[in-house]
Chains A and B, each alone.
Chain A
């Protein structure tokens, strides 16, 4: 006679005993079910991805894309916030769409974030409805050919790369590729009126070559007047950014790109222009800083010295040249033959560069004088509040906390984000649902005891930092400052910590022997 009680006990016991192994199996294969804590512990690449993903979900909530204005041909922005309600009215839940984060392993071993093209198609539909409502239709604006797709990934060095292919308003495909390294997988899939295009590296090369002045460009990053930049390689690296932040070192221009300064594109009426992506910091009246992807480059006007211009796209669908209060990051790379321009669409003011003056010295001095201040972090800044997605009317403060990292793409580089601390990430070991599940067992006494001990140790866990003792001794006649920094012993302490850990392992072995035998 089969003993049901014993069978049940056996099955439940097996589940309890092997649940850590099951969860580790999920973690090892980095499936979509893996928690982000498991992902970040998998490798340094994953750690970088996690930090990036946390930033990216904020990027996605400042997502906007550009399409050409039928009159000026300038790229017009449609902000996420602006589109949220429109999408909602049409039954498209943007949050649900943006939660479809997918990641896979690229050919070069990097992990990639990939966003499904269906999101873009839905957005495309919304563009059409919006423009129809605005009366902007016709042959000058073939919306059915306006397709965006993008893929964001990071390579093994932690650099974030972005791939983008856009179909411009003249129904010409402009290829845009971005890759860090030689073998990055930049395969993109476009859906265009039901037809699927798959672009390989060779396709992009062909596109890059065939489109003349639109060679290899992110069209939306180019200046208006049909001039675009040769952005065949783009990469940038994130640093931490806090609210009321100041940028730490931030942008890195791809070396290959800087060698392409010889790629000069002629405008219709304003001479020559070369440009590159830059991260430009913009601080609004509330002292909230956002970081925009714009262009920085040398700008040549016939008969005038070369000038540096930079600009970015704001949320009001206008192209603004930043004023003198805004910082150019790493613009010194273009210090040679460049000067800053004033505000204005056709700005052509040279600063400090006169006839006969050494342009490079003048530019370098100018940029040095306007160098951004050292970043400061205000420890009293309160945490970001919950967003009101139903009333997204404050685009300057797009602090969104979904509670779980999600994927997204940005079509024109407009974004602002905050790099959160890793300790603030959702921890699946806390606040688990009360339904009967393996994870829920972790919160039930007495099964929780196994997890409580590491949880207590987590309170003590932190990034090692050498103690530093600073003080002042007041002896009346003179003061003596004390500054003792033990970071001199960092290498030694690293070895000591490893030895302590080995001793701890030995201790566990002996404890096990006493416990079990």
Chain B
């Protein structure tokens, strides 16, 4: 039992270490200072706000689907 806990902690530590090594998002820094004019007029034609909300929700669902699929594949509950 102790060995299991130690292995679990080591694995978590490795995961945390890998996480810290991951690079930061390059896109966030690139778009931080972007200023687009006439956005109000653009939004008058297109529902950007609603599209953004729907896109975020859709991406979250797709990500969750892929994550769960990957987990189940690793647990050999489903095939390739």
B34 contacts partner chain A, Cβ-Cβ < 8 Å: yes
Quick check: A464 and B20 within 8 Å, CB to CB? Answer: no
Contacts of A465 in B (CB 8 A): 40-41, 43-44
Inter-chain contacts of A443 with B (CB < 8 A): 24-25, 28
Say whether, besides A434-B20, A443-B25, A501-B47, A16 and B67 are in contact (CB < 8 Å). Answer: yes
Q: Is B65 in contact with A498, judged by CB distance below 8 angstroms?
A: no
Flag if A436 contacts B20 (CB, 8 Å): yes
Query: In the assembled complex, which residues on chain B have CB atoms less than 8 Å from the CB atom of A467?
Result: 41, 44
B50 near A452 with CB under 8 A, answer no
- Nearest CB to that of A465 among chain B residues? B40
The reply to whether B28 and A493 contact each other, CB–CB distance below 8 Å, is no
The answer for the CA separation of A505 and B57 in the assembled complex, in Å, is 11
Quick one: given A454-B55, A455-B27, A457-B55, are A9 and B71 in contact (CB under 8 Å)? yes
Q: Is A481 an interface residue (CB 8 A)?
A: no
Q: Does A7 contact B (CB under 8 A)?
A: yes
* A370: interface (CB < 8 Å): no
A450 to B25, CA, bound (A): 11
Question: A residues within 8 A CB of B78?
Answer: none
| Residues from chain A with Cβ under 8 Å of B70 in the complex | 13
Q: Is the CB of A515 within 8 A of B44?
A: no
Kindly list chain A residues whose C-beta atoms are within 8 Å of the C-beta of B74: 6, 9-10
Is A383 part of the binding interface, using a Cβ–Cβ cutoff of 8 Å? Answer: no
- A8-B43 in contact (CB<8A): no
Instruction: Determine the residue in chain B with the shortest Cβ distance to A458.
Output: B52
Contact of B24 among A4, A13, A445, A464 (CB under 8 A): A445
Which residue from B27, B32, B60, B75 sits with its C-beta under 8 Å from A20?
B60
Contact indicator per residue, chain A 491-502, by CB within 8 Å of chain B (1) or not (0): 001001110110
Q: Which of A445, A461, A486, A493 meets B25, CB within 8 Å?
A: A445
User: Which residue of chain B has the shortest Cβ distance to A11 in the bound complex?
Assistant: B12
> 1/0 per position for B10-29, CB-CB distance to A under 8 A?
01100110011011111110
Question: When each residue 464-507 of chain A gets 1 if its CB lies under 8 Å from chain B and 0 otherwise, what string results?
Answer: 11110000000000000000001000000100111011001100
Q: Which residues of the other chain, A, contact B58 by a CB distance below 8 angstroms?
A: 508, 512
3 shortest interchain CB distances as A-B pairs: A448-B25, A465-B40, A17-B67
A sample of 15 more A-B contacts (CB under 8 A), given A459-B31, A515-B62, is A14-B67, A434-B20, A445-B23, A445-B25, A448-B27, A450-B59, A453-B56, A454-B52, A454-B59, A456-B27, A462-B48, A497-B45, A498-B47, A500-B46, A508-B58
Q: CA separation between A447 and B74, bound complex, in Å?
A: 20
- Interface residue tally for chain A (C-beta within 8 Å): 57
Assess whether A7 is in contact with B8, with CB atoms less than 8 Å apart: yes
B12 in contact with A8 (CB, 8 Å):
yes
A463 contacts B71, C-beta separation under 8 Å: no
Asked if residues A17 and B34 are in contact (CB atoms below 8 Å), the reply is: no
Query: Is B15 in contact with A8, judged by CB distance below 8 angstroms?
Result: yes
B26: chain A residues within 8 A (beta carbon): 445
Contact across chains for B48 and A457 when beta carbons are under 8 A apart:
yes
Does A381 interact with chain B (Cβ within 8 Å)?
no
For residue A288, give the distance in angstroms from its CB to the closest CB of chain B. Answer: 27
Residues on B with C-beta less than 8 A from A430 are 28, 32
Contact A450 B60 (CB under 8 A): yes
Q: Assuming the A-B contacts A16-B67, A448-B27, are A4 and B11 also in contact, with contact meaning beta carbons closer than 8 angstroms in the complex?
A: yes
Q: What distance in Å separates the Cβ of B63 from its nearest Cβ neighbour in chain A?
A: 5
Is B68 touching A4 in the complex (CB atoms < 8 A)? no
The answer to whether A461 and B49 touch across the interface, beta carbons within 8 angstroms, is yes
Q: Which residues of A contact B40 (CB under 8 A)?
A: 462-465
Interface pair B49/A508, CB less than 8 Å apart: no
- Report yes or no: B4 in contact with A4, Cβ–Cβ below 8 A: yes
Say whether, besides A444-B22, A455-B31, A501-B50, A8 and B45 are in contact (CB < 8 Å): no
> Which residue, A451, A461, A504, A512, has most C-beta atoms of chain B within 10 A?
A461
Residues in B with CB closer than 8 Å to A504 are: 47, 50-51, 54
Q: Given A445-B22, A504-B54, A460–B28 Cβ distance below 8 Å?
A: no
Residues of the B chain whose Cβ atoms lie less than 8 Å from the Cβ of A71: none
8 example contacts (A-B, Cβ-Cβ < 8 A) are as follows A4-B4, A4-B8, A17-B71, A448-B25, A450-B63, A458-B52, A462-B39, A505-B54
The answer for the CA separation of A20 and B40 in the assembled complex, in Å, is: 29
Residues of B within 8 A of A497 (CB): 44-47, 50
* A436-B19, A463-B43, A466-B44 known; A14 vs B71 contact (CB < 8 Å): yes
Asked if A96 CB lies within 8 Å of chain B CBs, one says no
**Closest chain B residue to A9 by CB distance?**
B74
Residues 409-441 of A, flagged 1 when their CB comes within 8 A of B and 0 if not, give 000000000000000000000100010100001
As a 0/1 sequence over residues 100 to 117 of chain A, the CB contacts with chain B under 8 angstroms (1 = contact) are: 000000000000000000
Q: Is the CB of A452 within 8 A of B28?
A: yes
Complexed CA–CA distance, A463 and B12 (Å): 45
A13 touches B68 (CB 8 A): yes
A506 shortest CB reach to chain B, Å: 11
Q: Does A193 belong to the interface (CB within 8 Å)?
A: no
Of listed B44, B45, B56, B71, residue having the most chain A CB within 10 A: B44
| Chain A residues with CB below 8 A from B15, complex form | 8, 12
Given the complex, which residues of B lie within 8 Å of A6, measured CB to CB?
74-75
| B48 proximity list for chain A (CB < 8 A) | 457, 460-462
Provide the residues of chain A in CB contact with B62, threshold 8 Å: 512, 515-516
B17 nearest in chain A by CB position: A436
